[in-house]
Amino acid sequence: MKPVIFAAALLAAQPVLAADWVVQPAASTLGFSGTQTGQAFTGAFSQWSAQISYDPAHPEAAHVHIVIQTASAHTGDTQRDEALPGSDWFSAAAFPQAVFDATGFTALGGDKFTTTGRLTIRGNTKKLVLPFTLDISGGTATAKGQVNLVRTDYGVGQGSWSSGAWVGLNVGVNFTLVAQSK
């Protein structure tokens, strides 16, 4: 084999390495919404981190790893905020972190994408398809998305809270992640 052909074959066999991005926490949000006694409420997690690798030329090689501190959930309602880290809800003492881990983005056209990953809350792991939009301008990427979950699929809301009579079973999770390329 000629040296040039051999070198080209070696380069073609190398795995695609996506570029790393650094999330800008002050410009990013990770929120949730639900209903309690028929009234809508919203909240957010104030402590979380994200590792993101993404190359626009190779979305299939992307990787996202998000770690959420469950005790950082807050809604602005004192009673609800005191209950959320408790054993009936996030059980933050036993399960201090929720984790979303996904590999590969699927382009849907324009700025629309999905990624399929695994979400773990309270030790319960489920496959999750996450739709999002992605806008890259210069060295800044902004991803926005929203997905609906059934909280009891993840063990959130134990005992009398598991029926959905007082707190709705459906929960929306929304995010805006702003990141700078490294």
One CATH from 2.102.10.10, 2.10.260.10, 2.40.128.110, 3.30.70.1560 for 14-181: 2.40.128.110
pLDDT, tens digit (0-9, with 9 covering 90-100), for 44-64: 999 999 999 999 999 999 999
- Contact 130/103 with Cβ under 8 angstroms? no
pLDDT, tens digit (0-9, with 9 covering 90-100), for 106-140: 999 999 999 999 999 999 999 999 999 999 999 99
Q: How far is it, in rounded angstroms, from Cα 113 to Cα 49? A: 21
What are the sequence ranges of the domains in the chain?
A: 14-181
The pLDDT of 7-18, averaged and rounded, is 43
CA 41 to chain centre: 20
Give the predicted TM-score (pTM) of the model: 0.88
> Mean pLDDT over all residues of the chain?
91
Strands 140-150 and 170-181 come out as antiparallel
The pLDDT score that the predictor gives to residue 1 is 43
The pLDDT of 15-34, averaged and rounded, is 87
Tokens of 43: 């909240």
Judged against a pLDDT cut of 50, whether residue 13 lies above it is answered with no
